[in-house]
Amino acid sequence: MRVLFIGDIFGRPGRTVVHRLMAELREEFQPSLIVANAENATHGTGMTRAAFEELSVEGIHVFTGGNHTLGKHEILILMDEHPNVLCPGNASLALRRHGWFVWPSSDGPIGIVNVIGQYCMSAVDSPYDYLEDVIGGFDMEHVVMRFVDIHAEATAEKAALLHLFDGRVSVIVGTHTHVPTADARVTEKGTAFITDVGMTGVMSSIIGLDPETVLRRIQTGVTYPPHVAEGEATLMAVVVDIDPLTGKSTSILPLQRKS
């Protein structure tokens, strides 16, 4: 089982580089499942129906989210209509059912779970308790392949999740900081891990935003509206191989590609 996971798609530049590279990536890696974090897909905050449809055409099967998932009001309707559109299930009681999904791939079912960290986030429940509930529940009890996106500010929260669930989930990928880390590895117990996959957007920016606008806010204290940076975008992702019989990962490969 091969999974391609695309890090935080940021605005139109991120969607554009996905469009330009997806056919090449599908041909090169032949993934059975493509997952993308799309909480910033529309203007850097949230995902509209139009962006969802645009990215679905490119072959993305499951969408994860984060603290900006609710940035577009239509996402609630979209999640009700499409259970493959996720948001962190521990963000609130109202969203718990949207935090996981089982994808029936040709290699067998794989459970995708989306959680958010507690540090520097609005009051959210424990991601550890939520993940425990989900993977121990009836719907995922017999699903041996389990993929987790933890959207968190603190590297320690992501590392803690790995130590608590090492060998019990197949993959843990970190998102949110938009900066890729150099610690991709597979543990002895068979869990593939990376602290942060990075961002699919304009690298010569401030986490995807126009530097001039962000600097004006920093220097003056005035809350100027943010603008997505323009320019050449980079796709950041990981490719993970999972043994469908055991649920153990065998490899994880970070990617950075420009169109």
- According to CATH, the topology of domain 2-258 is Purple Acid Phosphatase; chain A, domain 2 (3.60.21)
Q: Which of 68, 151, 176, 178 is catalytic?
A: 68
Query: Which residue stretches of the chain have pLDDT < 50?
Result: none
Q: How far apart are CA 33 and CA 50, in angstroms?
A: 22
Give the type of residue at 105.
Answer: S
What are the structure tokens assigned to 160, written together? 């803690």
Report the phi/psi class of residue 162: left, alpha or beta, with left for phi > 0 and alpha for psi in -120 to 50.
Answer: alpha
What are the structure tokens assigned to 252, written together? 């994880």
Q: What is the pLDDT of residue 54?
A: 97
Q: Do residues 201 and 233 touch, judged by C-beta distance below 8 A?
A: yes
**How far from the centroid of its chain's Cα atoms is residue 52's Cα?**
14
Q: What is the pLDDT of residue 259?
A: 83
Q: What is the pLDDT of residue 51?
A: 97
Q: What is the pLDDT of residue 134?
A: 96
Q: What is the pLDDT of residue 122?
A: 83
Over residues 168-214, the pLDDT tens digits come to 999 999 999 999 999 999 999 999 999 999 999 999 999 999 999 89
Task: With CA atoms as reference, report the closest residue to 244 among 76, 42, 75, 106.
Answer: 106
Q: What is the pLDDT of residue 138?
A: 74
- pTM for the whole structure: 0.96
Please, what's the b/e burial string for 23-45 (b: 16 or more CB within 10 A of its CB; e: otherwise)?
eebeeebebbbbbbbbbbbbbbb
225 secondary structure, DSSP code = P
Q: Assess whether 68 carries a catalytic annotation.
A: yes
Helices (runs of H) and strands (runs of E) counted in the chain = 6, 12
Domain boundaries, the chain: 2-258
Q: Going by C-beta distance under 8 Å and a sequence separation of 6 or more, which residues neighbour residue 130?
A: 89, 90, 96, 99, 115
Q: How far apart are CA 119 and CA 158, in angstroms?
A: 11
Q: What is the pLDDT of residue 226?
A: 81
Q: Do residues 176 and 155 touch, judged by C-beta distance below 8 A?
A: no
